[in-house]
Amino acid sequence: MKNSEGMSKIVKTAASTIFVFTLIYGLYVIAHGHLTPGGGFQGGAVVASGLVMLIVVFGSSWTMKKIKEENLSILESFGAIGFIGLGFLGLLFTGIFFKNFIVGHNMFFGMIPDFGSTIANINTGGVLPLMNFAVGLKVIAGLFAIVLVMAHATSSYSKEAGKK
């Protein structure tokens, strides 16, 4: 934490503590998308807001140095490919696009819960948890890339304007 830009040392210390819990909570919402309210989009938004807090606290050029926006684009494309690939795997195995092809097998998220309100079992849902992960990755990288690129562009623009 030697960089001079960003907020004061107190804010930086508090934010780096809070950031971990935000990350854990967002990943929890993504991972339990097929059991509890929430899912890929919502959990991804939680994680992305935690990352945006880093931009606010540490400054955009510091964040840009740590995480390039090209890497975020690659991550987002991986999420999109995973999501579409799962849809096409359904087409491959059962002949129906976006068919849940894993459910019914007793392994790899394939179990079926009893009817009604039952105790949540993480090993259910078939293709849904995998799709939640793909969409979550996509939303994290996408939202963070949008905010990072905009913040970096505006800050570098104002810096150049201040020089002149």
Partner 1 sequence: MKMSKRNVLGIVAFSILTVFLVFSMLMLHFGNIHPFGNPQENDMDSYIISNAQEETGANNAVTSVVFDYRGFDTLGEATILFTAVAGVVLLFRRLKK
| DSSP code of residue 112 | -
Nearer to partner 1 by Cβ, of 18 and 85: the residue is 85
- Whether 130 contacts 82, CB under 8 Å: yes
Q: Which range touches partner 1 (CB under 8 A), out of 7-15, 22-30, 55-63, 94-102?
A: 94-102
Give the SS3 label for residue 111. strand
Type and span of the H or E element at 19: helix 9-31
C-alpha to C-alpha distance for 2 and 106, rounded to whole angstroms: 52
Contacts of 150 (CB under 8 A, 6+ apart): none
Nearer to partner 1 by Cβ, of 16 and 73: the residue is 73
Tell me how crowded residue 145 is: count the other CB atoms within 10 A of its CB.
Answer: 20
Q: Is 88 in the site for partner 1 (CB under 8 A)?
A: no
Tell me how crowded residue 132 is: count the other CB atoms within 10 A of its CB.
Answer: 25
Find the binder of partner 1 among 27, 28, 53, 69 (CB under 8 A).
Answer: 69
Tell me how crowded residue 11 is: count the other CB atoms within 10 A of its CB.
Answer: 13
Q: Is 16 in the site for partner 1 (CB under 8 A)?
A: no
Q: Is 53 in the site for partner 1 (CB under 8 A)?
A: no
Shortest distance, position 21 Cβ to partner 1, whole Å:
23
The backbone region for 24, taken as left when phi is positive above 0, alpha when psi lies in -120 to 50, beta otherwise, is alpha
Interactions with partner 1, residue window 101-120 (CB under 8 A)? 103-104, 109-118, 120
Q: Which range touches partner 1 (CB under 8 A), out of 5-13, 17-25, 53-61, 138-146?
A: 138-146
Q: Is 61 in the site for partner 1 (CB under 8 A)?
A: no
Binding interface with partner 1 (CB under 8 A): 33-37, 39, 41, 69, 73, 76, 80, 83-84, 87, 97-98, 100, 103-104, 109-118, 120, 124-128, 131-132, 135, 138-139, 141-142, 145-146, 149-150, 152-153, 156-157
